[in-house]
Copies of this chain bind each other. A is one copy, B any other.
Amino acid sequence: MIERFHPEGVPAPVVPLSTATKAGDFVFVSGQVATDAENKVYIGDFTREVDGALDNVEAALAAAGARPDQIVKIGAFLSNAILFAPFNEVYRRRFPEAPPARTTVVVAFGHPDVRVEIEAIAYVG
């Protein structure tokens, strides 16, 4: 059985995707960007943007009944190579020990103000 999840209290995605899916013992979280109080793309300080993207990953996991320490793989996307250092600084604070496997590359996004997008796979077995 495949289950699909969307965090409560957040508007449904405008794009055709499930925020998270659960299949067997694995949860797959769609690429998340930071959002503001009106659920629009957050524009501002990069540290807050990274925290906001990770907050949305955690909210998606929570909707599927998973915890951050159950993440086994992160896919991270940055808009510019210069962001690796500040990204890792925030990320290290969020995963102070036993971090997931991770791949991080530089791409472009659909929205011109997005600088970081993060997807995740968690294991709830």
Contacts and interface: CB of A to CB of B under 8 A. Distances in A.
Interface of A: 1-2, 4, 15-21, 23-26, 28-31, 69-70, 72-75, 77-78, 81, 84, 88, 91-92, 95, 98-112, 117, 119, 121, 123, 125
B16 A91 contact: yes
Given A2-B70, A23-B72, A101-B119, 8 more contacts: A15-B102, A29-B101, A31-B104, A75-B103, A103-B117, A104-B110, A106-B110, A107-B107
A28 B75 contact: no
Given A25-B24, A125-B23, A117 B105 contact: yes
A120 to B, nearest CB: 10
